[in-house]
Amino acid sequence: MSDDWQGLNGRIEGLRSLVAGSDGMLSPLKARSVRHPAGSLSPILLHDWRPAWDLAKSIQAAFTAGIKYDSRQDREVAWTKFNDARNELSKRSKADHEEMFNVSKAWRDLLFSDINAQRYSKLNDALFFFDPTTVEDMKASGKRLRDCGARLSAAKDSMLKEHKDECFQLILEVRQSHDRFWEQHKASHEQRHREIGERIKDVLSRVEENITKNREKRAKAADALSRCEANIYKLRDMLPNAKGDDFRSQVEGWLSEACDKRDSIRETIARIDEWIEQDVERRNDINSKRR
């Protein structure tokens, strides 16, 4: 049985070497470097203690199985060395775990603060209506949120899974608040677009109504002009045959009044034509901008 206890003693010494060797640069244990978010602090070296724990479990199993030593004293000495090594392993692995937890939590807390700062709040917009969140504000906030995601990715090796998951979940929540802003913005934009469309329709309707009315007025004025010009021709034909100074003077007065009326009607038609032209240009301008 001597080979059995000698082999076990060799494993105990191997465990002691693994634990003690973690202090040196040539430690047989794998190690990784983690960095605290406070950039002024030096990187922290943390060991992978799993091989040491696996060895400790195999040693414990040997003692539990009742491995035989040459003497009770030899067994107690081996057991004491093993327990001392295991206690030191527990102490060092616990210290590394706490160090890792503290570094990870520091990253989590820092990222939480920066991520939460990008959250959109409809309530805040309602309370501070005089300074609402703008589209440009949300674009800038979206960029900062993406930067937080990049920083989370860069710090993943210095964080525990639970803290990374918490940060990722918070990013999703804040992103959802951004989505609600953009949904509201889209709905508001569409509502304004509909309102503007209705106002444009009302303006176009009034413009078309004005054009129709003025064209009707022009048609009536054109008829009146035709009748007036016919009357002028008639009065001019009457002048050569007008008998007596009084009647001739009367016909000349009618002719003068008819000419004045004709000029007035022509001015009215010109003014109506100008109104129609202005409304047609306005209608065309509105329609061109709607395309």
The model's pLDDT over 240-288, given as tens digits with 9 standing for 90+, comes to: 887 888 888 888 899 999 999 999 999 999 999 999 999 999 998 888 8
| 61-100 pLDDT per residue, tens | 999 998 999 899 999 999 999 999 999 999 999 999 999 9
Q: Which runs of E-coded beta strand occur in 38-90?
A: 44-47
Phi, psi for 68 (deg, rounded to 5): -95, 135
Give the pair of three-digit tokens for residue 71: 């003497």
Q: What is the mean pLDDT of the chain?
A: 89
- For residue 158, give Cα distances in angstroms to 103, 115, 152, 166: 7, 18, 10, 14
pLDDT of residue 17: 87
What is the value of pTM for the model shown?
0.65
pLDDT, residue 41, reads 64
The pLDDT-based confidence of 22 (bands split at 50, 70, 90) is low
Listed range (21-35, 143-157, 197-211) with the worst mean pLDDT: 21-35
Cβ(175)–Cβ(145) under 8 Å? yes
pLDDT above 90 for 23? no
Q: Which two tokens stand for residue 288?
A: 């061109």
Residue with tokens 């989505």: 179
Asked whether residue 24 carries a pLDDT value surpassing 60, the answer given is no
Question: Which of 84, 6, 7, 18 lies closest to 49 in space, CA to CA?
Answer: 18
Find the helix or strand (DSSP H, E) in which 32 lies: strand 31-34
Span 212-235, average pLDDT:
93
Question: pLDDT-derived band of residue 1, with 50, 70 and 90 as boundaries?
Answer: very low
What is the distance between the alpha carbons of residues 88 and 204, in angstroms, rounded to a whole number? 88
Q: What is the pLDDT of residue 240?
A: 86
User: What is the distance between the alpha carbons of residues 190 and 196, in angstroms, rounded to a whole number?
Assistant: 10
Given a cut of 80, whether residue 289 has pLDDT beyond it is: no
Tokens of 214: 């003025």
Task: Tell me how far apart the alpha carbons of residues 239 and 260 are, in angstroms, rounded to a whole number.
Answer: 17
Average pLDDT of span 198-216:
92
Structure tokens at 151: 């920083």
Share of the chain above pLDDT 90, in %: 65
**Range 158-168 average pLDDT:** 96
Tokens of 218: 């022009």
Q: At residue 26, does pLDDT exceed 60?
A: no
pLDDT level of residue 2 (50, 70, 90 thresholds): very low
Number of H helices and number of E strands within the chain? 7, 2
Distance CA 159, CA 34 (A): 8
